[in-house]
Amino acid sequence: MKTVNNYFAKTLLTLILATISFFIFKEFLPNKLFPTPKGVSHNVVVDSLLLEAVASADTTSVIIEEKEKIAFEPKNGLVFPAETFEKYNGYQYLIDFFEKLYQLETAKKGKVRIAYFSDSMTDGDMIVQDLRTILQDKFGGEGVGFVNITSESASSRSSLKHEFSGNWKTQSYLKTKQPRNPFGVNGHVFYANDSLPFSWVSYKASKMRHISTLPEPTLFYGFSKNENGKVFKIVNEDTIEVALRPNSKLNELKLGDRANSLKLYFKDADSIPIYGFNFDDGKGVHVDNFSSRGNSGLPLSMFNVATMKEFQEKLGYDLIILHYGTNVLNYGTLNYSWYENRMNKVVTHIKDCFPGAEVLVISTADKATKYDLEMKTDSAVAPLIYAQKKYAVTSKAGFVNLYERMGGEGSMIKWVEEVPSRANKDYTHFNYRGSKDIAKLIYSQIEEGYQEYKILRKKKPIVQKKKRDSIVKKGDSIYAN
């Protein structure tokens, strides 16, 4: 009995000494107890352009006061009221996009296409699939839009069943600086493998609203001197052979009007750059999800302008959404001037690539990190959002402060810990429930701007001119820039 009492006493003394030691040395421990190693992000590929930007950081930047006024120049005879930097939305720079929505709503004319570029926040079509549904509910349109040949998130995508063989060769703008052929609008280029078995890809529509079929399936592929390439389309028990004709910089192969599923085999096509498939009915609104894990947004600077103009002529984007930041928060800095400067150039490049399209920047969401054993909003969130807002203002783009819209400081903690939860335990990414709410928040700001636009338009009719300065899709109305 005495031995047991001695053991208990020693154990208790050890615990007391350990507790006292912790509080003595606590002040010498780092505030961020488990810091993320600089340049490292779990489960993602960090793009080399971001690493280079950090290494050669240019921190020169003009400070903008929160209350500073931003005035706009009239466009199409319309001008939104001046905004403070603190409350900046930039609706003035979305006027053409709003007009397209107006024509769809009132005259049922034309169509609207959105390219949603993002990182792992929209992996598996999360957020985007819900935004697409909301827009198609109001303005019409059917189809999931542009889809890759292969995808790292195919198995987690619920808006489309996507399968493919394992022998495709892929080049991505996150990993390849000098691709064999220009990247496609999705930042990838794919090559079939001619050795048996042949490379194949299949798609099957989901049961979600507006995407329960694959309308007007169209294959996009690039230029090659290979005249022997062909695809085999499986229809019921029949096999249909179709030749590929890669004569132009960007080529299309239409594979029927509508299908519930589609499976293609590629033969003798190893040297032909394949970009992906498009599924849309040519009406209403279409939203393409171009997500890439680990992307900071900087790889968009690698787009070939001539090739992107070809995509723009065929697909006709009206709005380019840039939703980044998750992978930029991990670099141990509170000065993001280097990122602001680089992304300002990216937005300018995007406008060159997609003439006539307007740009909407979506800020990083809240992210929580452990400080002194307590989860708090990461200290890098606010300065990154400041930089994102600045390059949106400088490059004349619209802006959504997603951090504020989801609740501001500490909101990610609430989204994770509430029941049922709306975000994952990494305190960074949203689950499917949360993604639906994020889509609603993004849409609500687009809708607010659109309603304000309609009020302005009613007060002063839009100024039109005979010829638009930029590329116009066939069948669309003509508006001045």
> Model confidence over 282-310: pLDDT tens digits?
999 999 999 999 999 999 999 999 999 99
| Confidence at residue 13, expressed as pLDDT on a 0 to 100 scale | 56
Q: How far apart are CA 96 and CA 71, in angstroms?
A: 18
Alpha-carbon distances, residue 74 vs 35, 78, 91, 393, 397 (angstroms): 47, 5, 12, 16, 15
| Confidence at residue 405, expressed as pLDDT on a 0 to 100 scale | 98
Q: How far apart are CA 78 and CA 70, in angstroms?
A: 16
User: For the ranges 224-238, 380-394, 414-428, which has the lowest average pLDDT?
Assistant: 224-238
The stretch 109-134 carries a mean pLDDT of 97
Percent of the chain predicted with pLDDT > 90: 74
153 pLDDT above the threshold of 50: yes
- Show the tokens assigned to 339: 């990122």
* Beta pairing partners, 201: 164, 264
The stretch 5-9 carries a mean pLDDT of 55
| Confidence at residue 109, expressed as pLDDT on a 0 to 100 scale | 86
Q: How far apart are CA 199 and CA 201, in angstroms?
A: 7
pLDDT confidence bin for 266, thresholds 50/70/90: very high
Q: Where does residue 301 rank: exposed (0-12), middle (13-18), buried (19+ CB within 10 A)? A: middle
| Confidence at residue 58, expressed as pLDDT on a 0 to 100 scale | 62
| Confidence at residue 15, expressed as pLDDT on a 0 to 100 scale | 56
C-beta separation of 88 from 393 below 8 A:
yes
| Confidence at residue 4, expressed as pLDDT on a 0 to 100 scale | 45
Alpha carbons within 13 A on the beta-carbon side of 209: 11
The amino acid that residue 202 corresponds to is: S
Kind plus residue range of the DSSP H or E element containing 319: strand 319-323
C-beta separation of 118 from 323 below 8 A:
yes
Of the candidates 380, 364, 367, 381, which has an alpha carbon nearest to the alpha carbon of residue 412?
Answer: 367
453 pLDDT above the threshold of 90: yes
User: For the ranges 131-135, 148-152, 237-241, 365-369, which has the lowest average pLDDT?
Assistant: 237-241
Q: How far apart are CA 67 and CA 77, in angstroms?
A: 27
* DSSP 8-state code for residue 387: H
| Confidence at residue 36, expressed as pLDDT on a 0 to 100 scale | 41
**Where are the extended beta strands (E) located within 50-159?**
69-70, 83-84, 111-118, 145-147
The structure's pTM equals 0.86
237 pLDDT above the threshold of 90: no
Of the candidates 452, 455, 349, which has an alpha carbon nearest to the alpha carbon of residue 83?
Answer: 452
The stretch 114-125 carries a mean pLDDT of 97
| pLDDT tens per residue across span 308-363 | 999 999 999 999 999 999 989 877 778 999 999 999 999 999 999 999 999 999 99
- Show the tokens assigned to 239: 């096999």
| pLDDT tens per residue across span 185-229 | 999 999 999 877 899 999 999 999 999 999 999 999 999 999 999
Q: What is the number of other CB atoms lying within 10 angstroms of the CB of residue 193?
A: 16
* Length, in residues, of the chain: 481
| pLDDT tens per residue across span 12-70 | 555 555 555 544 444 444 444 434 434 334 334 455 677 777 666 666 666 777 778 99
165 pLDDT above the threshold of 60: yes
Q: How far apart are CA 355 and CA 351, in angstroms?
A: 6
C-beta separation of 218 from 257 below 8 A:
no
- Show the tokens assigned to 22: 């912790």
The amino acid that residue 250 corresponds to is: L
465 pLDDT above the threshold of 90: no
Instruction: Compute CA 45 distance to the chain's CA centroid, rounded to the nearest angstrom.
Output: 16
| Confidence at residue 195, expressed as pLDDT on a 0 to 100 scale | 78
Q: How far apart are CA 165 and CA 199, in angstroms?
A: 6
| Confidence at residue 44, expressed as pLDDT on a 0 to 100 scale | 40
The amino acid that residue 345 corresponds to is: K
- Show the tokens assigned to 188: 């990838």
Residue 238 phi, psi dihedral angles, 5° rounding: -100, 150
73 pLDDT above the threshold of 80: yes
Contacts 24+ apart (CB under 8 A), 57-63: 57/333, 57/335, 57/337, 57/338, 58/337, 58/338, 58/341, 59/335, 59/337, 59/338, 60/337, 60/341, 61/337, 61/340, 61/341, 61/387, 61/390
87 pLDDT above the threshold of 70: yes
| Domains and their CATH numbers in the chain | 31-141+285-481 (3.40.50.1110), 146-281 (2.60.120.260)
3-state SS class at 240:
strand
Mean pLDDT in the chain? Answer: 87
Alpha helices in 265-367 (DSSP H): 305-315, 337-353
Residue that the structure tokens 């279409």 belong to: 286
111 pLDDT above the threshold of 50: yes
- Show the tokens assigned to 320: 């380019």
C-beta separation of 377 from 428 below 8 A:
no
Residue that the structure tokens 């990083």 belong to: 364
The amino acid that residue 114 corresponds to is: I
C-beta separation of 238 from 288 below 8 A:
no
Q: How far apart are CA 6 and CA 228, in angstroms?
A: 86
477 pLDDT above the threshold of 70: no
